[in-house]
Structure 1
Amino acid sequence: MHRHFGWDHPRRSRHGFSGPGMGGPGEGRGRHGRGPRIGRFLEHGDLRFVLLALIGETPAHGYELIRALEERTGGAYRPSPGAVYPTLALLEDEGYVRATEAAAGRKAYEITDEGRQALARQQGSVDAIFARLDTVGADDAGRHKVRRAMENVKTALKLRLSRGSDQAQAEQIAAILDEAASRIENL
Structure 2
Amino acid sequence: MLADRPMNGYQMIQEIAERSGGAWKPSPGSIYPTLQQLEDEGLIQADEASGRRTFRLTSEGETYVQEHEAEVNAPWESMSANAEDDDAAGLRPLVGQTAQALWQIMATGSADQQARAREVLADTRRKLYGILADGDDQEGGPR
Question: Which range, TM-score by smaller chain?
Answer: 0.5 to 0.7
Please tell me whether the aligned partners of residues 55 and 110 of structure 1 are also in contact (alpha carbons under 8 angstroms).
yes
Query: Unpaired runs of 5+ in structure 1?
Result: 1-53, 148-187
Matched, 1:78 2:78: no
Alignment partner, residue 63 of structure 2? 117
Q: Which fold has the larger relative contact order, with Cα–Cα distance below 8 Å and residues 6 or more apart in sequence? A: 2
1:136 counterpart (59, 82, 105): 82
Amino acid at match of 1:75: G
Please tell me whether the aligned partners of residues 20 and 76 of structure 2 are also in contact (alpha carbons under 8 angstroms).
no
Amino acid at match of 2:60: E
Highest Rg: 1 or 2? 1
**Cα root mean square deviation, aligned:** 2.2
The percentage of counterpart residues that share the same residue type is: 37
Q: Secondary structure at the match of 1:101?
A: strand
TM-score of the aligned structures, taking structure 2 as reference length: 0.56
Residue 130 of structure 1: CA displacement?
1.6
Query: How many residue pairs align between the two structures?
Result: 91
Residue 137 of structure 1: CA displacement?
3.3
Q: Secondary structure at the match of 2:11?
A: helix
> Which runs of structure 2 are paired with 1:1-187 in the superposition (5 Å)?
54-102=1-49, 104-139=50-85, 142-143=86-87
Superposed CA offset, 1:28-58 (max 9, x none) = xxxxxxxxxxxxxxxxxxxxxxxxxx01110
C-alpha distance in structure 2 between counterparts of 1:106 and 1:78, whole Å = 20
Q: Which runs of 4+ in 1 moved over 2 A?
A: 135-139
C-alpha distance in structure 1 between counterparts of 2:2 and 2:84, whole Å = 23
Amino acid at match of 1:70: A
Query: Unpaired runs of 5+ in structure 2?
Result: 91-143
